Amino acid sequence: MKSIKPGRGPSYMGAIGSLFTAGFGVIWTIAAISMGAPWFFPLFGVFFVVLAIVQGLYHKRNATGRDRMSLFDITDESEEGDTLDPRRREPSKPQGEGGFCPYCGARTEGDWSFCRKCGKSLN
């Protein structure tokens, strides 16, 4: 079953944006200190640098990781699992015990071959 994943491209763009944010923070901090600005102006620049580091690390992990939060790529289960899929966290029930349809979530019985709600094959 296909799932929609956040794309690696937007994550790489976020990482590049983090570099620009860090550069802005460094320039702001240096300019504020050299002009003798009050203490909160250089602190504002330091905040931007820290924000850029945290954001850059998050986007790097998201762009290079296997199971990542994604909004744009369409992947197959064999390629990558869906990190937001609650069925992924629950162990599947053995055949014959019933359970839930993997497509629509409707309750099923053990001997059913098709979902009575969406009509898709359960085998």
What is the reported pLDDT for 20? Answer: 92
Q: What is the pLDDT of residues 60-112, one digit of tens each?
A: 887 777 666 555 555 555 655 555 555 554 445 454 456 778 788 788 877 77
What is the reported pLDDT for 96? Answer: 47
What is the reported pLDDT for 95? Answer: 47
What is the reported pLDDT for 78? Answer: 61
How much is the pTM? 0.49
> Dihedrals φ, ψ of 99, to 5°?
150, -135
Q: Beta-strand (E) ranges in 1-123?
A: 3-5, 73-75, 99-100, 107-108
Torsion of CA 99, 101, 106, 107, to 10 degrees: -20
Residue 46 contacts residue 111 (beta carbons within 8 Å): no
Query: Token pair 């850059």 is at which residue?
Result: 56
Q: What is the pLDDT of residues 14-31, one digit of tens each?
A: 888 899 999 999 999 999
Alpha carbon distance 59, 96 (integer Å)? 43
What is the reported pLDDT for 11? Answer: 77
**Residue 47 binned pLDDT confidence (cut-offs 50, 70, 90):** very high
Which amino acid is present at 110? G
Burial of 10 (0-12, 13-18, 19+ CB in 10 A): middle
* Residues in contact with 33: Cβ distance below 8 Å, sequence separation at least 6, in sequence order: 42
What is the reported pLDDT for 93? Answer: 47
CA atoms within 13 A on the CB side of 119: 0
Q: Is the pLDDT of residue 59 over 60?
A: yes
